[in-house]
Structure 1
Amino acid sequence: MARPSYSVPTAEKVEMTEVERLADAQDANSQEHNLKFLDALRLYRKSVFWSMIMSSGVIMDGYDIKLIGTLYAQPAFQKAYGRLAKADSYQIPAPWQAGLSNGSICGQFVGLLLAGYVSERFGFRKTLLAGLSCIIACIFIPFFSPSLAVLEVGQIIFGIPLGLFQTTPVIYALEISPLGLRPYLTNYINCCWSIGQIIAVGILRGVVNMETEWAYRIPFAVQWVWPVIIIPFLFFAPESPWWLVRRGRLEDAKDVVKSLTSPKNVNFNVDKYVTLMVVTTEHERAVNSETSYGACFQGANLRRTLTVIGIYCVQTLNGNPLRGYSTYFLQQAGLPTVQAFNMTIVGFAVAIAGGIFSWVLLGLFGRRTIYCWSLVLMFSIMLTIGTLGIQQTESPKDAYPWAIGSLLIASSFLYNCSIGPLTHTLCSEIPSAILRSKSIVLARGMYVLTTIVAGVLTPYQLNPTEWNWGAKTGLFWAGGCLIAIVFAYFYVPEPKDRTTAELDILFGKKIPARHFARTQVDLADAVYGDDDDVKKI
């Protein structure tokens, strides 16, 4: 590996500069490991605040996804846009359900590709400001849509700025926080997603008995609230210090770190902290200086990219599309419309509780342990839901819909205390620093594609005028869980208590995923590699 070059007079001074840099980086690396949770919270109070502000944009994504899926079960929306299925009963045709659900997702795919370039070119703060500004204009289309066709166009256009929120907040959360806070702040993003969903269901539950067009226009209008609240805060938000280092703006990076940390902690050295960022970034550029999407599939980055792609796809495979249609699913499973809304609200309240409980699990177990065992439990739940669906078809009983609904709520709790939040944590930690944005964009893009496929299948699986599987759909997603379990065991590593530089070394040495936790790492490898002359220093 080539050593970094410096403008100094003699070779001896170069050697000493590298040794000093390594010492500073190792000191910062050790401080990262020694900084306990409460100490990190006191030192980085401002980081927590700004991370939560940035993450709040994800509420809009959760709200929009749940809004469309839940509107299919709303009588006023069904009557305005649907077709008469039987006496006094309207249904949105399954092709339109699939189209509307996937419309926003297709737009988000475009927004994702833009985010990978825009966020690295202009920074995370400006990217989110631009997205929020566009959203204000885009909401007018679904709000005034007179037909399903116009609503479809609105969903696609609205999805483009939403795509910017798929990756930017999670990377920002990781890059402005210390090692001890990263899992909690990245996990919080999943809570925001659940908050958006429960707000959507709660508002739709409040207007479910309205018979006018306002029953579905009010929920669309609520989307104007988020940009109005968030934009003023973002004007004052600091940029990511890692992004500033990647742009060569070291003094600006130091200023940001100073603004994010408490001056009361005299033991914290800003210069050494930024030096660790510099050493890590230079090491990654020495391995591969490219920062294009193609670079994500070269060398050690190939494994890292495929891993984060798989982790994001597991979000679909474990049955998330079924939970996304929970109100409609419970309605088709036999619950009255109002009770289906009530059960969905309970489900998302439990999801938020699961998100909070995930913070407890993070302190007790490793990421890989939680992730793998939660998939095993999810497989059992989906298998049970599918089995009850078969029983309900053969010999219907009033207890079956409630049992199915309870299991769906249990799966929501399980997902939101493990698989859901850990997706953001793992996928922000695993990629290299210089390819983090693009790796997550690619992973999220593949997730979008799997969601589009699931968005086509799920309406047909649940719609009584199509395949009419009902709760038997659980068996389909049990198969998805089984695939996810095999993937997780062989490919998901343990990044707990590992800095970005240490993960670079582990992936560079091709350590198997199941051995990450017990493999020792020497930070000198990140600076000197395997140069024999350097090992003598």
Structure 2
Amino acid sequence: MASTLTSVPSNPKSKDQLGDGAIIHESVPLEDAQDANAQEHDLTFWEALRLYPKGVFWSIAMSSAVIMEGYDTKLIGTLFAQPTFQKQYGVHVKGNSYQITAAWQTGLGNGSTVGQLMGLLLAGYLSERFGFRRTLLCGMVSIIGLIFIQFFAPNLIVLVVGQILFGIPLGLFQTTPVIYALEISPMCLRAYLTNYVNFCWAFGQIIATGLMRGVLSRTDEWAYRIPFGVQWVWPVIMIPIIYFAPESPWWLVRKDRVEEARAVVQKLTSPANVNFDVDKNVALMVVTTEYERMVSSTTSYKGCFEGVNLRRTLTMIGIYCIQTLNGNPLRGFSTYFLQQAGLPTSQAFNMTIVGFGVAILGGFFSWVLLPLFGRRTIYVNSLVLMFILMILVGGLGIPQAESAKTTYPWAIGSLLIISSFLYNCSIGPLTNTLCSEIPSALLRSKSLVIARWSYAVSTIIAGILTPYQLNPTAWNWGAKTGFFWAGGCLISIVFAFFYVPEPKGKTTAEMDILYEKRTPARHFSKAEVDLVQTVAGVENEKV
């Protein structure tokens, strides 16, 4: 007789209590799940594209919501270098020059991030309670009204309040598209689709910088109101797309709506592939979900810090914080930084645009690296290279501080462009990939929220430090700030070597088993997993 896994909901209820459309399968053959697991390993990249054309489309469409976060993040930092904005909201410093003070730069730069902290916590609850589609719709609708606060802000106080409120729906966009991308795609596509989320972030930033460069010559209030108003374009485009998007089949399985999950998988895949078995694919989702429930039935935020999930959560927190530690805040202030380093304002904007263009090229190059190397290999080695680049930036800052030569600012700007390429072909996109693959399916949303929440806190701290490091009215470190972030890179290298695993070629069920066995992160790539034997063994222990 075939081995079976009895499906036990995390909160057992009668069928009537589960609501319309909730169908609980009393047993699922483990061999079906094993077959689906083997098929995941056998599926090639091109076969997966032919099998999941609609899944790829919907993943890309939903991920495009992240463009708004990238746009808003870059917009505020770029406005600090915008002469009209400086004159309207800043203080007179010398000659005919104005500056937004370091204190207000800190408040404006962190305002959105503070709101995102609240939005992230809401995202973990809302996405698991109501689904990814409804969560994103809610965020998009709320943004339409919140843009008015930024657009008509008469002073910095109102603008900071607007940034905080605007950050709440942005928090919903930070984790939801990443999880959605992973849950509607097969194993061999998930790295590419979760990487694409970083593309969207870069798209938003280059749009913001390009638009700000376009209105640079304006001397009226529209020099900064137009960039705020452009944000109304995204909800108009995204709301209809999100409305018609399918829900994640993994989320439907977690809600014990197995038949609906099966219907979604059928819609996402091409019927032309006769070798694909929808029932077995859904069986793998059911077996994985129920295995996790047998190991730990909790789905609360507290559960992310209990048992084996503690290691997974701490690893994700570290990976997200490395996004800050590797020097990203310095690149985020690149326009202002280059302006203070001695480049003309127009050239500082031009260099920033080039930097983000290179960042997008880096994103494409990351797709070249993915099939050639493991995630861990790319990640650790890129941190070593970033450490060297930050040392070079800091080193150039020493003579640049004592010399008026224009060669130093250009050299520093070139190194920042190189670091932008490196970040966007490795550390940046792999953060989304690793942090979507490491957690369990039951705690995926909440674990990612906690990790992203920690990143937001680190961003706030960096957002306080960076203006003071760069502002001529404060510490005025200039390019020597590179030494500070080189230290962050060194910490990141040590952490990544000991704690970042290799999830390439591992299904969610296999990652669960490797963590349950407490496999060292350095040994994940070579570890063998027997799905049927492990799941059946855990079930027998429970019985």
Distance in 2 between residues matched to 1:172 and 1:412, nearest whole Å: 26
- Aligned match of 1:447 in 428, 452, 455? 455
Distance in 1 between residues matched to 2:535 and 2:143, nearest whole Å: 44
- What SS class does the counterpart of residue 81 from structure 2 fall into? coil
Partner of 1:501: 509
Do the aligned partners of 2:52 and 2:270 also contact (CA within 8 Å) in 1?
yes
- The code of the aligned residue for 1:441 comes to V
Distance in 2 between residues matched to 1:247 and 1:480, nearest whole Å: 41
- What SS class does the counterpart of residue 139 from structure 1 fall into? helix
Distance in 1 between residues matched to 2:220 and 2:372, nearest whole Å: 51
- The code of the aligned residue for 2:189 comes to L
Partner of 2:6: 4
- The code of the aligned residue for 2:400 comes to Q
Q: Does 1:59 pair with 2:67?
A: yes
Shift of 1:211: 0.2
Q: Does 1:42 pair with 2:50?
A: yes
Partner of 2:382: 374
Partner of 1:100: 108
Deviations 1:9-50 (A, max 9, x none): xxxxxxxx97x7111001000110111000000100001110
Q: Does 1:281 pair with 2:289?
A: yes
Deviations 1:410-446 (A, max 9, x none): 0000000000000000000000000000000000000
- The code of the aligned residue for 2:290 comes to E
Shift of 1:255: 0.2
Do the aligned partners of 2:5 and 2:287 also contact (CA within 8 Å) in 1?
no
Partner of 2:531: 523
Do the aligned partners of 1:504 and 1:526 also contact (CA within 8 Å) in 2?
no
- The code of the aligned residue for 2:6 comes to P
Distance in 2 between residues matched to 1:79 and 1:532, nearest whole Å: 71
Deviations 1:231-274 (A, max 9, x none): 11111100000000000000000000000000000110000000
1:339-350 to 2 correspondence within 5 Å? 339-350=347-358
What's the TM-score once normalised by structure 2's chain length? 0.95
Q: How many residues align?
A: 523
Partner of 1:237: 245
Q: Does 1:185 pair with 2:193?
A: yes
Distance in 2 between residues matched to 1:122 and 1:102, nearest whole Å: 29
Shift of 1:315: 0.2
Deviations 1:57-106 (A, max 9, x none): 00000000000000000000000000001010000010000000100000
Shift of 1:395: 3.7
Distance in 1 between residues matched to 2:104 and 2:533, nearest whole Å: 55
- Aligned match of 1:262 in 270, 291, 309? 270
- Aligned match of 1:358 in 363, 366, 370? 366
Partner of 1:483: 491
Do the aligned partners of 2:84 and 2:223 also contact (CA within 8 Å) in 1?
yes
- What SS class does the counterpart of residue 98 from structure 2 fall into? strand
- The code of the aligned residue for 2:338 comes to L
1:385-400 to 2 correspondence within 5 Å? 385-400=393-408
Distance in 2 between residues matched to 1:143 and 1:47, nearest whole Å: 36
Q: Does 1:110 pair with 2:118?
A: yes
1:361-440 to 2 correspondence within 5 Å? 361-440=369-448
- The code of the aligned residue for 1:346 comes to V
- What SS class does the counterpart of residue 85 from structure 1 fall into? strand
Do the aligned partners of 1:279 and 1:526 also contact (CA within 8 Å) in 2?
no
Partner of 1:69: 77
Shift of 1:214: 0.2
Distance in 1 between residues matched to 2:409 and 2:325, nearest whole Å: 23
Shift of 1:379: 0.3
Shift of 1:4: 3.3
Partner of 2:336: 328
Q: Does 1:228 pair with 2:228?
A: no
Partner of 1:166: 174
Do the aligned partners of 2:387 and 2:489 also contact (CA within 8 Å) in 1?
yes
Shift of 1:528: 1.4
- Pair 1:525–1:458, CA change in 2 (3 A): farther
- Pair 1:147–1:23, CA change in 2 (3 A): same
Do the aligned partners of 1:283 and 1:526 also contact (CA within 8 Å) in 2?
no
Distance in 2 between residues matched to 1:532 and 1:459, nearest whole Å: 58
Do the aligned partners of 2:113 and 2:456 also contact (CA within 8 Å) in 1?
yes
- Aligned match of 1:319 in 323, 327, 330? 327
Runs of 4 or more, structure 1, over 3 Å off, are: 2-7, 530-534
Partner of 1:13: none
Do the aligned partners of 2:393 and 2:482 also contact (CA within 8 Å) in 1?
yes
- The code of the aligned residue for 2:323 comes to Q
Structure 2 residues not aligned, in runs of 5+: 10-25
Distance in 2 between residues matched to 1:374 and 1:320, nearest whole Å: 14
- Pair 1:282–1:85, CA change in 2 (3 A): same
Q: Does 1:250 pair with 2:252?
A: no
- Pair 1:143–1:298, CA change in 2 (3 A): same
Distance in 1 between residues matched to 2:533 and 2:167, nearest whole Å: 43
Aligned-pair identity (%): 72
- What SS class does the counterpart of residue 166 from structure 1 fall into? helix
Distance in 2 between residues matched to 1:341 and 1:183, nearest whole Å: 32
Deviations 1:327-358 (A, max 9, x none): 00111111110000000000000000000110
Do the aligned partners of 2:294 and 2:538 also contact (CA within 8 Å) in 1?
no
- Pair 1:533–1:103, CA change in 2 (3 A): closer
Distance in 1 between residues matched to 2:224 and 2:442, nearest whole Å: 43
Distance in 2 between residues matched to 1:356 and 1:220, nearest whole Å: 29
- Aligned match of 1:142 in 129, 140, 150? 150
- Pair 1:393–1:433, CA change in 2 (3 A): same
Shift of 1:397: 2.2
- Pair 1:31–1:5, CA change in 2 (3 A): closer
Shift of 1:396: 4.0
- Aligned match of 2:481 in 469, 473, 476? 473
- What SS class does the counterpart of residue 235 from structure 1 fall into? helix
Distance in 1 between residues matched to 2:124 and 2:8, nearest whole Å: 31
- The code of the aligned residue for 1:312 comes to Y
Do the aligned partners of 1:501 and 1:526 also contact (CA within 8 Å) in 2?
no
- What SS class does the counterpart of residue 331 from structure 1 fall into? helix
Shift of 1:525: 4.2
- The code of the aligned residue for 1:4 comes to T
- What SS class does the counterpart of residue 29 from structure 2 fall into? helix
Shift of 1:210: 0.4
Shift of 1:394: 3.2
- What SS class does the counterpart of residue 158 from structure 1 fall into? helix
Partner of 2:14: none
Which shows bigger deviation, 44-53 or 525-534?
525-534
Distance in 1 between residues matched to 2:54 and 2:102, nearest whole Å: 47
- What SS class does the counterpart of residue 292 from structure 1 fall into? coil
